[in-house]
Structure formats: C-alpha cells, structure tokens
Amino acid sequence: MGIPDEQIYPYATAAAAKTVAKHQEPQNLVFYSGWFCPFAQRAWISLEERGIPYQYNEINPYKKEPHFLAINPKGLVPAVEYKGKALYESLILCEFFEDAFPNYKPNLLPLDPVDRALARIWLDHITKTFIPSIHRLLQVQEASKQAEALQDLYQSIRKLTDNIKGPYFFGEKFSLVDIAVAPWIVRDWVVEEHRGYKRIDASPKWKEYAELVEKRDSVVNTSSLREHQIEIYGRYLRDEAQSEAAKAIRAGRVIP
C-alpha cells in the first residue's frame, strides 16, 4: 500500500506545462522532476535560465519505483542522468550545471572567488534556517509553536534580506542564491493564507524582492496552478504528510 502523498496531480499545469512540452526530445541530460516540488524547481529554473538542452521526465517520487531508485537511491526529485551517470540533490545539480555546461550563459554563480564563497554561505543559510523554519511553520500544530516558527522564519529572511544588494541578491545579475529561495517565494501564499505570514512583516525589502523574483520568466515558466498544490499542502498543514522532509521535520531531524 502506498502513502497518501502518492495521490498527487500527475502533470505540470499552466506555464510549466508549456515548458514541459518543449522539452520532450531525447537529450544528453535527462531531468527527473516533480512539477510540485520546490527543490526540483530550483534545478529547473537553472536549466531554463541558461538554456541548457534537457529532456523533462515527470516522476512521482512517493511511489519509489525501482527505475527511479536506481537513479536516486534516496528516491527524491530532482535527479538527472547525464552521459549514463546519475546525480541528485537540488543545489548540487545547480552547481553541476555550471561546471558541466560552462558555455551556456549566464553563469548563476559569480565568477569572483570571494563572491562565489559568499553565494555558498547564503545557500547554506537558506538550507539550514529558511527551509527548516518554513517547513516547521507548515507542519507544527500548536499556536505557540507556529508563532515560534514564524518568528524564526522572519529572522532567517531578515538576515538574508540585509545582504541583498538589489534588485537581486548580487545586484543586477540573477544568481543561484535567488534561485534557492524562489520556489518558496512562489509557494508562500500557503503560509500567508494558513499561518499568518506576511512578506511585509519579514521586511519591506523582502516584499519588494519577492515580488520581483516571482515574476522572473524562468520562475513563472516552471510554476503550476495553485489549485493542484493545495491538496499536497493540506497534508502538511494538518501534519499528515509522509514525505521524507515531513518526517524529518516532525522528528526534529535535518531535511534529507
């Protein structure tokens, strides 16, 4: 018997469906994605930003099908197959695209070594504070714990926002730091509608930044309809989700 999370709408919709349709031809790079997945969207935005040729392959990672486990033993999207080798982990894939496709522009990591290290410092901040607090905010049920998670989220956002050069994190150039948060910006309506989050309460600069990031073509073109997402988020909001991330948050562990 499968888990309830298996019951997800099977395909991308809206602008994301058009992007999927444009990427059906076989290519050296096969992108295993889930239309609903914020981690997969990071890799997808990177591919779209740089115009890298890829073949899109929709996966329901909750089914843990053997053919997919052979690609990613963790059974998580995103993953890629490139020249017969399998790779996974969203931010590692984004960096892999930089390394394996140097001629596809623009680069999404700065070229200057100091800025490159700074980008990684902020990616680490996003991984360790922003994502865990937004997922805790979704899942915790007690009002006091929700209030705590909301304040943790605002604090994480403010630290990031204080370092945004504007309009994007590194100035005019859209980068991997922007990509790392973009999928949660386009999904923050869930915590706004159900957990009292407001962009402006994090900071006015965050609100301005979020409004810019969510309009970026690569972000819009990899986003699906909200109506299919709410079914998935309903399980998180009731703390019923059985995804690996949901189980980790519930147990106070690091998201795998």
List active site positions: 37
The residue (of 163 and 242) whose beta carbon lies closer to ligand GSH is 242
Chain-centroid distance, C-alpha 36: 9
- CB contact at 8 A, 195 and 138: yes
For ligand GSH, the closer of residues 94 and 157 by Cβ is 94
Q: Which CB, 78 or 110, lies closer to ligand GSH? A: 78
Residue 210 · residue 168 · CB < 8 Å: no
Applying CB under 6 A, the residues found at the interface with ligand GSH are 34, 37-39, 61-62, 75-78, 89-90, 243-245, 256
Closest approach, Cβ 255 to ligand GSH, in A, equals 6
User: What's the token pair of residue 71?
Assistant: 């690609």
Residues β-bridged to residue 79: 32, 88
Smallest distance from ligand GSH to CB 80, Å: 11
The least CB distance from residue 157 to ligand GSH, in Å, is: 19
| CB burial string 48-86: b at 16+ within 10 A, e below | bbbebebbbbebbbbeeeeebeebbeebbbbbbbbeeee
